[in-house]
Structure 1
Amino acid sequence: MRDQLERCLGEWRELEEEFRQLQETHKVYRQKLEEVTSLQTACSSSIHRQKKTLRDLKHSLQRCKPRASPEEFALIQEISSQIKERQNAFFDMEAYLPKKNGLYLNLVLGNVNVTLLSNQAKFAYKDEYEKFKLYLTIILLLGAVACRCFLHYRVTDEVFNFLLVWYYCTLTIRESILISNGSRIKGWWVSHHYVSTFLSGVMLTWPDGLMYQMFRSQFLAFSIFQSCVQFLQYYYQRGCLYRLRALGERNHLDLTVEGFQSWMWRGLTFLLPFLFFGHFWQLYNAITLFRLSRHKECKEWQVFVLAFTFLLLFLGNFLTTLKVVHTKLQKNKDKVKKL
């Protein structure tokens, strides 16, 4: 009994000593945290002042250009180039500083700091995002095949459409967090997921009936094709991004996207026919729905709204892809001329 008591007292003394060390470590941690917060505030304020001054300087230089001599013009061009590089440096710095959330994140999450302050945390979150897209693409593919071939029930269609809504909603939130942490995804490929969320939500509210059944098979077939293309894109884009990052040509937070971008040109041009086919299938969906909206039995508002949304997706996807391809071909022509 005495030996057991002595062991307990010994363990208690060890715990007391460990607790005192923990208190000291936590005290140092809080001091360092306050220092980091102070440094973050100082950096953010300095960047804000620099940006404002650089904007004013840039406008002043533009006004000086028409009256500048050749030497002065060359100097203005050099300074303008350095200003552009400085702005890129600010972008990289801000990726490691807390910033205010955009309107969308404020509505969804509130005023919560979503900035990840270490490279390890940023890369881990980005990889988690990519895995989420891959796994959900496979699940959606299997769900669309099941609904199209085996499960001809309205309730299973509702589950599939709800999964689409949840998937795209989650993508928009995760992408907003990644953008806050320095990811350079922008333009239509960000808006594309918001439009897809809206479209999936309207599909979810579309009541069963003649119009729904006339479009159901076409929509599920399109979903199967879209998931297959996204699955192919994921693997080829991931490999392409890996090579470009190894060469130092791409940012480590760049993401795979549903569309076609200039950095994908190497080894991915064979995907273009599939992408364009998918874009025109969206146009075909829009035309089908516009025709259904004029059907004498059509009473649902969802038909016309879905037609307009598919048309918007087609225009955004097709024109953006076409612009990227045109820009890339133009750059290739310029390189050939220089040679």
Structure 2
Amino acid sequence: MPQSLIEIQEEWKSLEQDFQMLQETHKKYLQKLDEISRLQSSCSSSIARQRKKLKEMSSQVNKCTKGSSADDAKTLGNIKEQVKTQEHAFSEMDAFLPKKNGLYLSLVLGNVNVTLLSKQSKFAYKDEYEKFKLYLTVVLLLLSFICFFFVSYRFLDAIFNFLLVWFYCTLTIRESILITNGSRIKGWWVFHHYISAFLSGVMLTWPDGILYQTFRGQFLAYSLYQNFVQCLQYYYQSGCLYRLRTLGERHNMDLTVEGFQSWMWKGLTFLLPFLFFGHFWQLFNSVSLFRMAQLPDCREWQVRVCGACFLILFMGNFFTTLAVVRHKSKSRNQKPKSM
């Protein structure tokens, strides 16, 4: 028998052994998946039962608190604290259990499970989201710079607006997945991206004409400034989050967002003027568009809709930032008094 054939036979036997080991490993893997699925269902149902009992316990404690003695009130207070601790523990458990998608994710992705089941995968997805947001912001900054200073073609403007639509739509999907996995971005900063995506879509459909060319320079200058401020925010917020996570003062799944947050207060003096200037620029855009809508030759519906979008963005950004600053100032003033 030729030497080469003997070598081939030996190699084939080795491959067969490896294949059998792989089959056994894969069989164990499928068994573990079934076990994990059963454990997930068991944990989810147990958490639901426990939460229902905690609600009943809380209502009973509240009823007993009225007219109770000092010792009884102290005991009931301890029970309340333990109930809050258990509710917080349930929230931490939920972050690693499959859950139903919200309405938006259900419409976009269907019933696909988007819960990431390990801390490493959660952090990796969060970091990839932050990089995506930063890279696209830099691309939008460069493109708005080119459109504003060098090129005046409607086709390139359409590419810029289409990129804005895709960027904000992608952010809304990614943020919804991150919220499902424990990120704490809430309220206006989530809704802000929906409005921005709609505004960019309306700008994309605005036909070229006298009114479009009148507003074009102002919009591109605003976009250039907005992307610049977002880059500043990213580098400042990422540094703040890193320090606070190291000290254990922030959740590991917290994100940098397009706005002022209470945890950004430490050492912050320079970002607020940039943010407020951008907010009032949104108001200026809204006023300019509503004035254009009063012109006799204004027939584009996009003028009024864009004006309304900019007004909503201004009101949401301005009053939310004011509320955060006011809340943080109060908490800072109350600390010395409590000491």
Same fold (TM over 0.5): yes
Bigger mean CA deviation after superposition, 203-212 or 254-263 = 203-212
Deviations 1:51-80 (A, max 9, x none): 122122223323333322333333333322
SS at match of 1:182: coil
The alpha carbon displacement at 1:278 in A equals 0.7
Alignment of 1:135-214 (within 5 A): 135-214=135-214
The separation in 2 between residues aligned to 1:85 and 1:312, in whole angstroms, is 38
Amino acid at match of 1:155: F
Bigger mean CA deviation after superposition, 310-319 or 162-171 = 310-319
The alpha carbon displacement at 1:86 in A equals 1.7
The separation in 2 between residues aligned to 1:41 and 1:221, in whole angstroms, is 53
The separation in 1 between residues aligned to 2:246 and 2:274, in whole angstroms, is 28
Matched, 1:216 2:216: yes
Deviations 1:194-232 (A, max 9, x none): 111111111111111111111111110010111011001
When normalised by structure 1's length, the TM-score is 0.97
The alpha carbon displacement at 1:5 in A equals 0.8
The separation in 1 between residues aligned to 2:55 and 2:210, in whole angstroms, is 59
The alpha carbon displacement at 1:306 in A equals 0.9
Matched, 1:295 2:295: yes
Structure 2 gap ranges (5+): none
Amino acid at match of 2:330: Q
Amino acid at match of 1:195: I
Deviations 1:96-125 (A, max 9, x none): 011111111111111101111111111111
Amino acid at match of 1:292: M
2:64 is aligned to 64
In structure 2, relative to structure 1, the CA distance for the partners of 1:64 and 1:289 (3 Å cut) is farther
The separation in 1 between residues aligned to 2:301 and 2:57, in whole angstroms, is 53
1:311 is aligned to 311
2:3 is aligned to 3
Bigger mean CA deviation after superposition, 53-62 or 165-174 = 53-62
Deviations 1:171-197 (A, max 9, x none): 001111111111111111111111111
The separation in 2 between residues aligned to 1:80 and 1:272, in whole angstroms, is 39
SS at match of 2:288: helix
The alpha carbon displacement at 1:43 in A equals 0.5
Matched, 1:333 2:327: no
The separation in 2 between residues aligned to 1:85 and 1:74, in whole angstroms, is 17
The separation in 2 between residues aligned to 1:197 and 1:80, in whole angstroms, is 43
Amino acid at match of 1:129: Y
SS at match of 1:268: coil
Amino acid at match of 1:313: L
The alpha carbon displacement at 1:148 in A equals 0.6
Aligned-residue sequence identity (percent) comes to 63
2:279 is aligned to 279
Amino acid at match of 2:285: N
SS at match of 2:268: helix
1:133 is aligned to 133
2:242 is aligned to 242
2:264 is aligned to 264
The separation in 1 between residues aligned to 2:261 and 2:95, in whole angstroms, is 23
Amino acid at match of 1:32: K
Amino acid at match of 1:83: V
The separation in 2 between residues aligned to 1:280 and 1:74, in whole angstroms, is 51
When normalised by structure 2's length, the TM-score is 0.97
SS at match of 2:253: coil
The separation in 1 between residues aligned to 2:76 and 2:318, in whole angstroms, is 39
In structure 2, relative to structure 1, the CA distance for the partners of 1:63 and 1:308 (3 Å cut) is farther
Count of aligned pairs between the two proteins: 339
The alpha carbon displacement at 1:261 in A equals 0.6
The alpha carbon displacement at 1:7 in A equals 1.1
The alpha carbon displacement at 1:27 in A equals 1.0
The separation in 1 between residues aligned to 2:63 and 2:154, in whole angstroms, is 65
The separation in 2 between residues aligned to 1:64 and 1:120, in whole angstroms, is 45
1:233 is aligned to 233
The separation in 2 between residues aligned to 1:265 and 1:250, in whole angstroms, is 13
